[in-house]
Amino acid sequence: MAVGFLSGLIVILKYFAQEGIISRIGTDLIAWRVTVAAFALGLGAANLIQVHARAIIRREKNADSSFLLLATMAVFTVLGVVSGPNSAAYKWFWDNVYQPIYGGIASLLAFMIVSASYRAFKVRNWQSAVLMISALIVILGQVGLVSRVFAGLPSLSQWVMSVPNTAGMRGITIGGALGAIALSLRVILGFERSYMGGGQQ
């Protein structure tokens, strides 16, 4: 808790003191994030190997998927370390293994989005009616044939995306930033202890 308090306090004070020892220490602490993230990535990989290796040894239900995941992870790691991420072999695996899987997942998400949109666009009150009308304007404004019939629809669609949508996104961004500030203050002051594996005070 003392390390979290001191490091967080120094990084905050760095933005108020552009010169001096506080600024230099704060800059070093921010740069150390890369090292900490690398160790966290290694820890995550070790945990992934442990969980899926146990599933393979115990011949659990999805053991074949666990084996495929570990094999793919090993191939990508070896190729990346030995020949580098810019090598022809690494790029071949990236283009012919990762990209098709990502495309398949994205195509499944399209069906989920359609299903969620159907449930969200049921008009129950005036808020859901506004949501449905706005969504129809944006969607139809992207269709060329509809745009030829209704010439003003593309500009109206662009206005919906630029004004109300941007205002809502900025509100969400501000709310998320305030939540991050509140969580950071709780960590610095020692009220939030979940990152240490314990409960809250």
pLDDT in tens, 49-92: 999 999 899 888 888 888 988 988 888 888 888 888 788 888 88
Is the pLDDT score of 186 beyond 90? Answer: no
**187: Cβ contacts below 8 Å, ≥ 6 apart:** 4, 8, 195
pLDDT in tens, 133-170: 888 888 787 777 776 777 778 888 889 888 988 998 99
Instruction: Read off the tokens for 25.
Output: 């220490």
d(CA 85, CA 62): 30
What pTM does this model have? 0.53
